[in-house]
Amino acid sequence: MTFGRREANMFSVDELKAGFKDIFGGEPFLVRAPGRVNLIGEHTDYNDGFIMPAALEYETRAAVAPRADRILRVHSTKIGVTKEFDLDDPAPQPKHDWTDYVFGVAVALAGAGKRLKGADIMIASSVPFGSGLSSSAALEVSIGYSLLTVAGLPIDTVELAKLCQKAENEFVGMRCGIMDQFISCNGQHDHALMIDCRSLEKRSVPIDPRARIVVANSMVHHELASGEYNKRRASCEEAVRLLAPALGPIKALRDVTPTDLEANKALLSEVTYRRARHIVTENERVIEAAEALAAGDLARCGALMNLSHASMRDDYEISCDEVDVLVDIAQKQSGVFGSRMTGGGFGGCTVSLVEAGAVESFMENVKAAYETATGLKSTIFACSPQQGVGPLAG
């Protein structure tokens, strides 16, 4: 049996077990960790702000078995290669490829005092790479959960999320916030989570059954994403530094209100001001959107999603032509409450809130109009929020 590349289709339990036996031998246990879609609250997480993501059906699956030594071997079904890592390496260095997400988690866990054991792990993922649905966090969380399970250590999902974020920040070099890892660890079925990224307090927000979440992939991924992401974070930190003398001991843009920002606009460059304006207004939109969803006010939640996209496009400048076209098409459809870009930016996916009875026509119309406008065939699917990381039955 040969297990090579597969992009979007999920490996079944039987395929995972058979593939693991073919590569490593033995009988594995199975783990799943979901990707995520963010309903609203983009780039607010690393500003100590508010976010409202949900875990997805798309997920990373891992087949895992312990080893008697201190070697970690990982096989990627996506690219058909196996890599090896020594847990006793005194000075592990990034390789600047996909293995950094794996071995970086092992380094972060060990650095937190977790005594790990060797393991063989085969990973398969249905989370599309570069889509903004957080394939990297799903991979990190599945590896972290697997390693802790092999070592017989207790698993605190909030701590696991923090350590996976640490791996991506320090070993991979991507200065992401906590959102992706947190929702992959702590997602709740049929609910989004409204998360305070400073305290990590979370509140379940039910998704009204009158509406469905629809995700559309623009099928573009601009290579600007990583470098521009880090630049946006630096701009936010610069805004805090420049505003602090006027506003007092603020730690992050979370501590700045829109009124504060407007009153002190002259302290900032035009670009830094616009970056900050996105963050401070987005935080308010998240809070209001959570209240709207809880009250069943789908129209208000959708309107806030539309405003969020305009802010990301014009103030934070993280959208792109193709995503703007996709959002514009979606916002004009019958039965849609709201639509926006989701994820880090410069391509990837959009998220729409759509009347349940209009979902099929919405997806057909958006797919056809987007292909006519761009020549690209979008992958579109309706989804229900899922549970966070855990054992995969079977």
Any idea which residues carry the catalytic annotation? 180
CA 268 vs CA 181, 193, 273, 275, 329: distances in Å: 32, 33, 6, 10, 35
Task: Tell me how far apart the alpha carbons of residues 157 and 50 are, in angstroms, rounded to a whole number.
Answer: 19
Q: Are 108 and 166 in contact (CB under 8 A)?
A: yes
Task: Tell me how far apart the alpha carbons of residues 116 and 97 are, in angstroms, rounded to a whole number.
Answer: 23
Phi and psi torsions of 174, nearest 5°: -100, 120
CB atoms closer than 10 angstroms to residue 383: 17
Task: Tell me how far apart the alpha carbons of residues 355 and 213 are, in angstroms, rounded to a whole number.
Answer: 9
Phi and psi torsions of 234, nearest 5°: -65, -40
Helix (H, G, I), strand (E, B) or coil at 382: strand
Q: Are 152 and 146 in contact (CB under 8 A)?
A: no
Task: Tell me how far apart the alpha carbons of residues 292 and 298 are, in angstroms, rounded to a whole number.
Answer: 7
